[in-house]
Structure 1
Amino acid sequence: MLHRLLIRILLIACITFGYVCGYSARADNQSVHHVEDLAYGVALFDFFQQKYFSAITDLLVAEHYQRIKSDENNPSLLLGGLYLSYDLHQQSAKTFNKLLGNKSGGMPITIQDQARFLLGKNHYNDGLFSLAEEQFVEIKDGLQLESEDEKLFLLNAIFLKNDDFFQAQKTLEYFSSESVWKGYAKFNVASRLIQHPVEDNVEKGFDLLAELAIDDSLDYEKRILKDKANLALAYVSLRDGDSEKSIEYFNEVRLKGIETNKALLGIGWARYRENEFKEAVIPWMHLASSQTESDLAVQEAFISIPYAFEKMELKDQALHHYVLALDSYKFQLDETQQLVKFIKSSAFIEQLNQGSLGKEITSAVSIIKNLDPLLTRYLLPLLSSNDYQYKVKSYLEVVHLKYMLNHWQNNIPALQMILSEKRKTYKNKLSKTMDDDSLNRIKVLINKRRKLADQIKKIELSEESLRLLTAEEAEYLKLLDKGDSHLGQLKTQDEETVEIKNKVRLLKGRMVWEVDTDYPVRIWAVRKQLKQLNVATDEMSDTMSSLESAWKTAPSDFSGFEVRIANKEAHIKQLKKKIDIAIVSYESELRAIALEDLRLHRNQIKLYHDRALYAKARLYDSLMERE
């Protein structure tokens, strides 16, 4: 439907918006998988919490920022399955095709087969049965047993749609022996075969139903299938006039099951056809006294009881039960009329919303338990059906999308405030930085380093070792030169003076010799220190360049963020309008489906009511004639 397509588009848009503001199909593995990337672990956590929208957002954000590196193809497999759970078949198929098209790295068979299985389900849900069959046939041995049986079930359904009954029956041989999927497939094949014009196929269909009818498994779903098989065989036997055989099948249906009322009604009609009217009344009376008066099988029992009493010539009792039936029908027509008004009111939708209250996880139980008892009394089969639950869940998903959009919209002022504060902080720091003398000192230091490098280069060229003296050595040499000069200026050059003068010159010569000898070591040390100084000055230069770049680009960056926030705010408003349209469409559809189901129920009750009213009048006239 149009609104379903619309909500798929809205979901994609909402997930994409999650980049800035911030299935249920499962990827099976035959061995334990150790999660190494935190981003993938967060997505898995949300997935196992059944927060599928959050899991999709986690995976897309992680993919956008390349945060998942070591978990190979598992994230893509999970993402495709999540798309499939939201009926985003185009995105799901794209993800799986991309995964299967990646030939590098030797993808594990478990990943390949699971991707093909989910892609096949994707095509099946889109009605592309030939493409689905191609994917299922390509699967090897990498699926877990449950998924393997589900694959066979879907293949079986495809063969039935193509009227390929031979292949449909052939697939039944490949299911695991205890698989419930086999039971469903067998029931579907049998249902199609018994309607086939070829007698051999009809017989095969009855044989399959008979196999299901004698299954003694304690599994809940298999017991339901057993009841349905016995019920189908019973009504077919009743249709063919074999009442005794139909009773045998009816008696195999459990007394406490979803098919019990239909079985009790059928037993009564089987006895009625055998003119065993007294025995026919017993199961009908049991139905009439049950707590499920809204069940149409019970309503038919109400009008069937007086029919049997008329056949037994118990006309007074028959008239009494016609009156009881009319009272019941009148009561139900009044109640269902109230229910029609309730469904048309806003309270009906409000009760559906109570099950979610903005939560991402909503179960069928949480929805039904909040509904008006009148709804569950007359519409429980509809409300608990897969189709209606699917539509309600889809509606609540849309409501959750609106909740998320409101949440993101409420965050817009916070983003604007953060941007404003960042801009203020930048301006304050910029003014302080520009006024700081340290910037000028950095430039002076860089110039000094350049001069020092030039000096060292000159020393290397001239090999003037004395220019590599330490401050202490230079002071010492200066002191010796000064002493030598003073000694040379003395007028009297006695023996002691000459000796001191020679010692000073000896010390000076020794010192120069040592410096000349250590020149390679000293020049190497100076080069090393210069290299370290180069690193420090380069870092300072980079810092200066970064600051200068920030001074130039920060204003435009702020403006860019401002534009992006404004665009996202406008985008949210547009999405909210579309979401509102989708919500109204879903609400109308949910109401229409409930009203249509209720209309059919009321029409059947009206039919019973008219028949009972006519029979009562007819019987009353006959009693008056007798008197």
Structure 2
Amino acid sequence: MKRLFPLAAFAALLPLAASAVEIYKEGSADDPQVRLSRYLDNDKRHFSALVELRQLAGGTDPLKMPLEFQWRTADNYLGFGMRDRAEAIYRSVAASGGNAKDVARAQLRLCEFDFQRGYNAEARATLYRIREKLAPELIPDWQDLLARVLMAEGRYGEAADVLLKEDNASKQSPFTRYNLGIALLNDGRTAQGQTVLDRVGTLRPGNEEDLALRDRANLTLGWHFLQTQQGGTAKPVLSRVRVDGPFSNRALLGLGWAELAPQGSRIQKSETPDDKAPESRAYTSFSTLGVLIRPGYLDRDVFDRAGMRSFRLRSGDPDTEAALRRALVAWVELISRDPMDPAVQEAWLAIPYTLDQLGAHTQALQYYEKAVEVLETSRERMNAAMASIKQGRMVETIVRRDLDSEAGWDWKLRDLPDAPETYFLQSLLAEHRFQEALKNYRDLRMMSRNLETWRSRLDGIERGYLTTEKAPGNADELVRRALRDTELPYAGTKATLRLDTHLAVPGRYAAKTAPAAPHLPPLALAAPPARFNGPYERTLALKARVGNLREQLGVAGGAQAQLLQDMATQELEGQRKQIERYLIEARFALARLYDRQQKGELGRD
């Protein structure tokens, strides 16, 4: 016997089934196209994400779509560098009751965009305006960004006060602490700035970025001590820099000059009020420059490598001789590195100068001659780099690898191409002004390639329309198709007839009947259309529009490429002038040594 399902139980399950059904709402967080745009956004494909969102909205104003749609649209507009459109949507979201914390994060991103694009006044005004509405966890990011904006404007005192005011040093990143040290030094609060930089320079690194920051802090602090004639204090600080790193060459140069500078005094105890506990000073396993100047850590005598065994001091001061020899240790190591580095070029001048002071005049002459040769080669390479830039290859080579990337403002230069000018532009490539112009150029190139693809597709459609042979149209078939889709006015009407027995017998009517007047329907031929808008005509219109856009992008791309070329040329011109100054110094020093040798003032080595 079959058991029937109870009706009451079935009725109880109906609400559960209804709740399990997802109700589709266009533009909501669960909309498939919105979810696709989120995926594309996370993949840094902002342009494609915007295309999906614009297709979803159709002709609807984005500000009238659901909040999730507006968030996704604004984030991708900003990611692609379209700041003004993103800001308008963010304001709409804030006015319609969007999450306050998310709105604050969006405003910080807008300020970061303004700062990187050089709109410092706008970024500063916005940051001050949103301060009171920020959540506590966003304060460190706000401090860091505002401090960088103020430092870019040269307002170091205000930047330091911003970073010290909240009394939240433990929540600030090492990069923020480094900026604090720089701001304090430039504001004249020397003791506090030195202490902050010293603690950043002794932090326990957790990754490659921390190592680079640690080296930079030590390099900055060490050269600060050199400039204030405190060589003894500079030496241990510079010795903490890694042997192989982005700042090692400059640190080696400073180590040599620190031996010859007045020794000064050591770093004093911390005077920074907001530092609660000292950082760990434990050394890690990587080598530092201190290894190069500590006895017993060299494979062989550095003076053997340099061909410098015996020297004769003119002054006879053993302390001076020892200091000069220690300076040579760092500089001899430095000249074995890339001669295009300005620090290496300066070392080529410092070594013969030191040898001359030690009384090794013949070797000083040899090193000055070698320095002239190295500097001449460097100048030739610099000229080749400038020629490469003027030919327009530099910018295209840099962006070639990521030419189709849609990252927009989020795009980062991942590596440098192997080109003559690349090495000389490392410092320029790290600056916001060059990076942002490079992003603009790369985006213009990407959109140009996109339009080129569409132009090729439209050309294919046009060729297919012109070359395909079509049979002439059949009028009867066209009428048949029209009637097939047309409903007759009396279709389905049924006429019912019945016999009426009450009517009289019809009489006779002999008069002649006049024909009824013909009824002519009020029809007239329609005028031919002024312009037929079929597939072929629409293709031609789109081609014209694509051609116009390509021309505009070409003009904008050329202007942006010229801007990048001008910045690179200006940078290389400054470096070439520095090389020429070094050449002049080397030649004058060489001429003076030859003159003294002719006069017999040098004696025998």
Q: Flag whether TM exceeds 0.5 (same fold).
A: yes
Matched, 1:368 2:427: no
The equivalent of 1:288 in structure 2 is 335
Find the residue that maps to 2:204 and give its secondary structure. coil
> How far 1:621 moved relative to its partner?
1.6
> How far 1:85 moved relative to its partner?
3.0
Q: Is the 8 A contact 1:294 1:332 kept in 2?
A: yes
Find the residue that maps to 1:409 and give its secondary structure. helix
> How far 1:94 moved relative to its partner?
0.9
Q: Deviations over 1:202-251 (max 9, x none)?
A: 33222322221221232322322222222222122222222111112111
2:348 to 282, 302, 305: 302
> How far 1:624 moved relative to its partner?
2.2
> How far 1:616 moved relative to its partner?
0.9
Report the more deviating stretch, 80-89 or 152-161: 152-161
Q: Is the 8 A contact 1:193 1:205 kept in 2?
A: yes
> How far 1:325 moved relative to its partner?
0.6
Matched, 1:189 2:180: yes
Residues 358/185 of structure 1: CA separation in 2 closer, same or farther (3 Å cut) = closer
Find the residue that maps to 2:599 and give its secondary structure. helix
The gaps in structure 1 that reach 5 residues or longer are: 1-33, 459-551
Q: 1:312 & 1:439 partners in 2: Cα distance?
A: 110
Q: Is the 8 A contact 1:73 1:111 kept in 2?
A: no
Matched, 1:60 2:54: yes
Find the residue that maps to 1:446 and give its secondary structure. coil
The equivalent of 1:50 in structure 2 is 44
Q: 1:205 & 1:324 partners in 2: Cα distance?
A: 41
Q: Deviations over 1:120-143 (max 9, x none)?
A: 4456554312223323542336xx
Find the residue that maps to 2:533 and give its secondary structure. helix
Report the more deviating stretch, 108-117 or 357-366: 357-366
The equivalent of 2:446 in structure 1 is 400
Find the residue that maps to 1:257 and give its secondary structure. coil
Q: Deviations over 1:473-520 (max 9, x none)?
A: xxxxxxxxxxxxxxxxxxxxxxxxxxxxxxxxxxxxxxxxxxxxxxxx
Q: Is the 8 A contact 1:39 1:59 kept in 2?
A: yes
Q: 1:553 & 1:285 partners in 2: Cα distance?
A: 93
Q: 1:375 & 1:431 partners in 2: Cα distance?
A: 74
Matched, 1:613 2:587: yes
> How far 1:72 moved relative to its partner?
4.3
Residues 191/429 of structure 1: CA separation in 2 closer, same or farther (3 Å cut) = farther
Q: Across the two proteins, how many residue pairs are aligned to each other? A: 479
The equivalent of 2:513 in structure 1 is none
The equivalent of 2:129 in structure 1 is 134
1:88 to 68, 82, 100: 82
Q: Is the 8 A contact 2:349 2:368 kept in 1?
A: yes
Counterpart AA for 2:128: E
The equivalent of 1:521 in structure 2 is none
The equivalent of 1:244 in structure 2 is 232
The equivalent of 1:267 in structure 2 is 255
> How far 1:295 moved relative to its partner?
0.6
The equivalent of 2:560 in structure 1 is 586
The equivalent of 1:258 in structure 2 is 246
The gaps in structure 2 that reach 5 residues or longer are: 1-27, 263-319, 499-525
Counterpart AA for 2:349: I
The equivalent of 1:227 in structure 2 is 215
Q: Deviations over 1:233-275 (max 9, x none)?
A: 2122222222111112111222222111111101101112353
Q: Deviations over 1:265-298 (max 9, x none)?
A: 01101112353111111100000012x2111000
Q: 2:251 & 2:350 partners in 1: Cα distance?
A: 14
Larger gyration radius, structure 1 or structure 2: 1
Residues 440/611 of structure 1: CA separation in 2 closer, same or farther (3 Å cut) = closer
Structure with the larger helix share: 1
Q: 2:493 & 2:66 partners in 1: Cα distance?
A: 54
Counterpart AA for 1:209: L
The equivalent of 1:342 in structure 2 is 388
Counterpart AA for 1:58: E
Counterpart AA for 2:49: A
Residues 565/95 of structure 1: CA separation in 2 closer, same or farther (3 Å cut) = farther
The equivalent of 1:604 in structure 2 is 578
Residues 53/226 of structure 1: CA separation in 2 closer, same or farther (3 Å cut) = same
Residues 175/288 of structure 1: CA separation in 2 closer, same or farther (3 Å cut) = same
Q: Is the 8 A contact 2:144 2:163 kept in 1?
A: no
The equivalent of 1:381 in structure 2 is 427
> How far 1:611 moved relative to its partner?
0.7
Q: 2:475 & 2:127 partners in 1: Cα distance?
A: 63
Counterpart AA for 2:351: I
1:204 to 192, 203, 216: 192
Report the more deviating stretch, 330-339 or 308-317: 330-339
Q: Deviations over 1:346-403 (max 9, x none)?
A: 443553453245554697666623x32x223433333455543433332121111111
1:151 to 142, 147, 152: 142
Q: 2:330 & 2:359 partners in 1: Cα distance?
A: 19
Counterpart AA for 1:193: L
Residues 618/255 of structure 1: CA separation in 2 closer, same or farther (3 Å cut) = same
The equivalent of 1:11 in structure 2 is none
Q: TM-score, normalised by structure 1?
A: 0.67
Q: 2:427 & 2:576 partners in 1: Cα distance?
A: 15
> How far 1:79 moved relative to its partner?
2.3
Residues 575/440 of structure 1: CA separation in 2 closer, same or farther (3 Å cut) = closer
The equivalent of 2:35 in structure 1 is 41
Q: Kindly report the root-mean-square deviation, in angstroms, between the aligned alpha carbons of the 2 structures.
A: 3.9
Q: Deviations over 1:69-125 (max 9, x none)?
A: 99942332232223223332211211111111224xxx4455434434334445655
Percent identical across equivalent pairs? 19
Q: TM-score, normalised by structure 2?
A: 0.69
